[in-house]
């Protein structure tokens, strides 16, 4: 009878808690997105301006290098969350990200301080890389642990509702700034505006998180976490299948994110002759679609299961990504189709990402297990995505298609977990 009541009674989502848990990841991805999308404007401000191409490559290399601090942040802050609590760790991550954003906004130019400018940029990015490494794993664990088993997909969808909203804000800023400021104004001071806003959003997120409750699962398992020695080795020794599965589908998730949210913007404008305003507008419209589809897709995974949804996402991406790439060019409608289809498919993964990752590991190593191995995969494939698309050009999309095949084969090995109780 109790189970029948659970099924028939409409569940009320704790919206304030879900927003507070998700806002940190939103701010993190906002900052990373504006860095990638505005890099073409501030590259020659921070690096030697004599060679614009080399300055952009150096800026993107800094972007990539910061990614390799994500696994360290995921390990340290994931373990911290397993020992001290998800909420406490999430307060630390949002402080690191907001601080890094404000430092970048106030950076002196190369003409003012020489090589100190790129050094300060690198330090700010390292702090943000470590922050993001901890934020994704800890927020995912938090959302997975507070969700009732039958509604874990719905709870998980808030993770990228907030993220997509933040990226949409970044895209709209791009539209507004590209449409109202000259290239000279964007290069001299306009690029700083989005980073100032990122710092302000960080302070807002800190205020929202101050009253978040800790999860019952953490409280019940923290003593078990404290007894574990060499927790990273424990994940490899006791949960190698979960580590491999996390790597397999995160590979494609990472490539999808950086293809459609970051790498395509400079590629379309510099290599395919697209107007920056058209690119930002198409991305903004597609990002709105991305946000609107999150909750329906999360609810769908609670109904039909995680596995069928993930298989469709990876299979369709493998088939469609190369044909879509041929539409990248000066035509606005072609750009809209590329961004719309790519991000529409991607919602099938993002809407349930916290659920599927939380279901892989037990509570006492969940923060560290997700944090270390998810972020290592992101560092390898996400940090290098902008450089790879510059190097490979159109062949980059075959690279993404190959990643989709790997993800599809990996997802075939996953058990179905809808409605299951977390370990």
Query: Which among 93, 201, 84, 199 is positioned nearest to 137, based on CA atoms?
Result: 93
Query: What ranges in 351-395 are assigned the alpha helix state H?
Result: 353-358, 366-381, 385-392
Long-range contacts of 168-173 (CB under 8 A, 24+ apart): 168/284, 168/287, 168/288, 168/291, 169/30, 169/197, 170/30, 170/33, 170/34, 170/37, 170/194, 171/33, 171/37, 171/280, 171/283, 171/284, 171/287, 172/280, 172/284, 173/34, 173/197
Distance, CA of 350 to CA of 354 (rounded, Å)? 8
In the chain, the N- to C-terminal Cα span, in Å, equals 25
Report pTM: 0.81
Q: Give the number of other Cβ atoms within 10 Å of residue 149's Cβ.
A: 15
At 5 the pLDDT is 42
Which residues contact residue 243 at a Cβ distance below 8 angstroms, ignoring those fewer than 6 apart? 235, 236, 369, 373
Q: Which two tokens stand for residue 291?
A: 């946000």
Any domain includes 292? yes
Which residues contact residue 145 at a Cβ distance below 8 angstroms, ignoring those fewer than 6 apart? 86, 215, 216, 217, 218, 358, 363, 366, 422
Any domain includes 395? yes
Measured on CA atoms in the order 239, 244, 245, 250, is the torsion positive or negative?
positive
Any domain includes 171? yes
At 164 the pLDDT is 81
Residue 255: give the domain boundaries: 17-211+231-411
Any domain includes 225? no
pLDDT in tens, 334-377: 999 999 999 999 999 999 999 999 889 988 888 888 888 998 89
SS3 content of the chain, % helix, strand, coil (to 5): 85, 0, 15
Cβ distance 256 to 318 under 8 Å? no
Distance, CA of 378 to CA of 64 (rounded, Å)? 10
Residue ranges, the chain, pLDDT below 50: 1-8
The crossing angle, in degrees rounded to 10, of helices 240-257 and 332-350 is: 160
DSSP one-letter code for 395: G
Distance, CA of 139 to CA of 145 (rounded, Å)? 10
At 338 the pLDDT is 95
Query: Which among 5, 192, 317 is positioned nearest to 309, based on CA atoms?
Result: 317
Cβ distance 78 to 368 under 8 Å? yes
At 349 the pLDDT is 96
Q: In this structure, what CATH number is given to the domain that contains residue 123?
A: 1.20.1250.20
Distances (CA, A) of 44 to 47, 60, 111, 355: 5, 12, 10, 42
Distance, CA of 309 to CA of 356 (rounded, Å)? 11
At 382 the pLDDT is 78
Distance, CA of 309 to CA of 174 (rounded, Å)? 32
Query: What ranges in 68-115 are assigned the alpha helix state H?
Result: 70-84, 86-105, 110-113
At 248 the pLDDT is 95
Measured on CA atoms in the order 179, 26, 117, 53, is the torsion positive or negative?
negative
If one counts the domains in the chain, the total is 1
Any domain includes 273? yes
Distances (CA, A) of 58 to 125, 161, 296, 352: 13, 32, 40, 35
Distances (CA, A) of 113 to 44, 45, 46, 236: 14, 11, 10, 46
HSE-CB for 386 with a 13 A CA cutoff: 27
At 34 the pLDDT is 82
Which residues contact residue 376 at a Cβ distance below 8 angstroms, ignoring those fewer than 6 apart? 70, 71, 74, 247
Distance, CA of 102 to CA of 198 (rounded, Å)? 8
At 4 the pLDDT is 42
Any domain includes 11? no
- Largest Cα separation within the chain, whole Å, is 74
At 6 the pLDDT is 42
For the purposes of burial, counting CB atoms within 10 Å of the CB of 54, is it exposed (0-12), middle (13-18) or buried (19 or more)? middle
Any domain includes 2? no
Any domain includes 203? yes
């Amino acid at each position: 009878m109790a189970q029948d009541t659970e099924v028939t009674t409409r569940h009320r989502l704790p919206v304030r808690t879900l927003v507070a848990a998700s806002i940190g990841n939103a701010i993190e991805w906002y900052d990373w997105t504006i860095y990638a999308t505005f890099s073409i404007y501030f590259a020659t401000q921070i690096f030697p301006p004599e060679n614009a191409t080399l300055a952009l490559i150096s800026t993107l290399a800094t972007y990539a290098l910061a990614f390799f601090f994500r696994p360290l942040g995921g390990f340290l802050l994931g373990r911290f969350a397993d020992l001290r609590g998800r909420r406490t760790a999430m307060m630390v991550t949002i402080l690191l990200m907001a601080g890094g954003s404000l430092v970048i906004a106030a950076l002196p130019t190369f003409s003012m301080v020489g090589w100190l400018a790129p050094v300060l940029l690198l330090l700010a990015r390292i702090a943000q890389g470590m922050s993001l490494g901890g934020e994704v794993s800890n927020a995912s664990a938090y959302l997975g642990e507070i969700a009732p088993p039958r509604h874990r997909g719905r709870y998980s969808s808030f993770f990228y509702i907030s993220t997509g909203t933040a990226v949409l804000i970044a895209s709209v800023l791009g539209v507004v700034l590209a449409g109202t400021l000259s290239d000279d104004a964007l290069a001299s001071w306009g690029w700083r505006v989005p980073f100032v806003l990122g710092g302000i959003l960080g302070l807002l997120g800190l205020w929202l998180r101050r009253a978040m409750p800790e999860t019952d699962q953490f409280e019940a398992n923290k003593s078990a976490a404290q007894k574990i020695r060499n927790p990273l080795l424990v994940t490899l020794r006791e949960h190698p299948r979960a580590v491999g599965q996390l790597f397999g589908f995160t590979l494609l998730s990472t490539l999808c994110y950086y293809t459609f949210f970051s790498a395509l913007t400079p590629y379309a404008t510099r290599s395919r002759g697209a107007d920056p305003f058209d690119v930002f507008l198409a991305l903004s419209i597609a990002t709105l679609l991305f946000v609107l589809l999150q909750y329906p897709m999360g609810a769908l995974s609670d109904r039909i299961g995680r596995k069928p949804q993930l298989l469709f996402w990876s299979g369709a991406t493998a088939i469609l990504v190369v044909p879509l790439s041929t539409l990248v060019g000066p035509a606005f409608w072609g750009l809209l189709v590329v961004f719309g289809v790519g991000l529409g498919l991607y919602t099938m993964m993002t809407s349930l990402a916290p659920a599927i990752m939380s279901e892989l590991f037990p509570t006492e190593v969940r923060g560290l297990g997700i944090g270390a191995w998810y972020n290592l995969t992101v560092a390898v494939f996400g940090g290098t995505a902008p450089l790879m698309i510059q190097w490979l050009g159109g062949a980059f999309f075959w690279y993404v298609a190959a990643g989709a095949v790997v993800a599809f084969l990996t997802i075939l090995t996953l058990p179905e977990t809808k409605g299951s109780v977390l370990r």
